[in-house]
Amino acid sequence: MKKKLLAVGVAATLGALSGVSNAAITVAQNGVGHINILPYYSVQSGNTTLISIANTDEVNGKAVKVRFRGAQFSDDVFDFQVFLSPADVWTAAVSLDGTVARLATSDKSCTLPVSVNQQFVTARLLDANKAQGTREGYVEIITMGDIAPASALFTATKHVNGVAPCTTSVLIGNAATPNDLTGLLTAPTSGLTSFATIINVASSKAFTIPGTALVQSAAVPVRYSRQANLTVGTASFGNVAPAFDPLQTADSVFDVASGNVTMYEFDLPDLSTPYGTASAAAQLAELQTAFAKGSVVTEYATDDSILAATDVVLSQPTRRYYYTWTDTPAAGTDPLRTLATVAGATGPYTGLAAATNSITVAAPTVYDREERTVVDQSSIVISPNPQGSATWTLIGEVSVVSINNGSAPSGALGANITAQDYTFAYTDGLVRLNTTNQANATALPVIGFTAVNVFNAGVGASGTNYGQVLPLKW
């Protein structure tokens, strides 16, 4: 185990015993919080993902970090900052540009960099097919600080007649060393809400997914970090109160002692950066508590007569923080030290198979719509494994479980990177999917939804699809 990861685990245990954190991060039932997580985005199979982030605070603006992470190892594939005015809404679309995902927006809210209309970035993706790694994943949306009405930043970002001025001297300053806006922000308050719509025009279907909102129960510090390619831990890293450094994340890929990936200012904040907690370890422990689920329940439909297809998205936005990592590739192939290889995992992911990035869980419990259930669990398999298989797994950061879809990994969503099929004896019904790590009986930190698609042949000349989104129950 890496030394830093061991220290994080020890600190988390001590924190739990000593009460070092007097606040708690919880999932906001009203969908509004300090942090939002969109559990899935996709540009696979003709999909486009439409994203909306709203500031429901009618007094203060918000400085917001937006980060897209890939489905396989949650590597950063695109991140930037958005400055939302009071009651402001920022929207964008993510689509496929050649072989790589691309973001496009005509929104007038200020961003850093000034333009975010570009392809996703593959520098942190280790796979041979880097482009594919940008096509599916999830999105972190983190309030870094409030923009109070009296501040220069408020004037620079507040819309006037529908357009924000985005004053360069305030937002950017010296392009070589961008402005540190910490002194222009106040402690972040709740107010963010978001949703994503995965739309497939050619197939006439759409799935709208609300973001999962996290709220901190006590006042939190300002946590701004510049959107800059300045190396953390050097004299160029100028943030103060609080200082941002490798201790402000539980992500051991940046462990200085291990010599893995070089960390830059744009890597902070992440979900583990202390947000009213005593440390990154304490933050991670609270997130684990907030998201942990031993199992989830959902309906499913796979009736061939209506071409029904069901995909269950089980996104695990803290899984990254439990990985251990090998050293980066040789300097000749990775001179910027942007890559590291997953070697294993600890904590709730103890026993993870690094080669496949999969964790073993117990068999699902399946019912049809008339209460009948599967008695012989060996009849449930992950296809195309033969019947009798006793192994069920969740693959990757965004595990997509497709039901009764045969050799194709995904039906409703057209997922590919981390999708697998569970074959059941019944075409429609209710299923309880196990989300407990069999290696240590730990409930995994999971958010997500179920996407169901059905086809109505009686509409028009060629029929039409209908997309349904079901919230997970537990």
In the chain, the percentage of residues whose pLDDT exceeds 90 is 68
- Is beta strand 89-97 parallel, antiparallel or unpaired with respect to 48-55? antiparallel
Q: pLDDT digit string (tens) for 60-103?
A: 999 999 999 999 999 999 999 999 999 999 999 999 999 999 99
Q: pLDDT digit string (tens) for 317-367?
A: 999 999 998 887 777 788 888 998 899 999 999 999 999 999 999 999 999
Residues 48, 71 within the same domain? yes
Range of the domain at 455: 294-317+358-395+397-471
Domain membership flag for residue 326: no
Residues 245, 310 within the same domain? no
Number of domains in the chain: 2
For the cut 80, the answer to whether the pLDDT of residue 114 exceeds it is yes
pTM: 0.91
Residues 124, 257 within the same domain? yes
Residues 409, 420 within the same domain? yes
Residues 382, 270 within the same domain? no
Query: What local confidence, expressed as pLDDT, does residue 239 receive?
Result: 41
Residues 242, 298 within the same domain? no
Residues 369, 242 within the same domain? no
Domain membership flag for residue 351: no
DSSP 322-374: GEEEPPPPPTTT-TT-----EEEE-GGGTT-BTTTTEEEEPPPEEEETTS-B-
Residues 207, 97 within the same domain? yes
Measured CA to CA in angstroms, residue 200 lies from 48, 270, 425 at distances of: 6, 30, 30
Query: What local confidence, expressed as pLDDT, does residue 1 receive?
Result: 39
Residues 178, 245 within the same domain? yes
Domain membership flag for residue 325: no
Classify the C-alpha dihedral 81-85-86-92 as positive or negative.
Answer: negative
Domain membership flag for residue 332: no
Mean pLDDT lowest for which of 162-166, 241-245, 364-368, 466-470? Answer: 241-245
Q: pLDDT digit string (tens) for 350-360?
A: 999 999 999 99
Domain membership flag for residue 256: yes
Domain membership flag for residue 329: no
Domain membership flag for residue 333: no
Residues 270, 411 within the same domain? no
444: CB partners within 8 A, 6+ apart: 292, 293, 316, 348, 349, 359, 361, 394, 435, 436, 437
Residues 216, 196 within the same domain? yes
Residues 248, 313 within the same domain? no
- Confidence band (pLDDT; 50, 70, 90) for 244? low
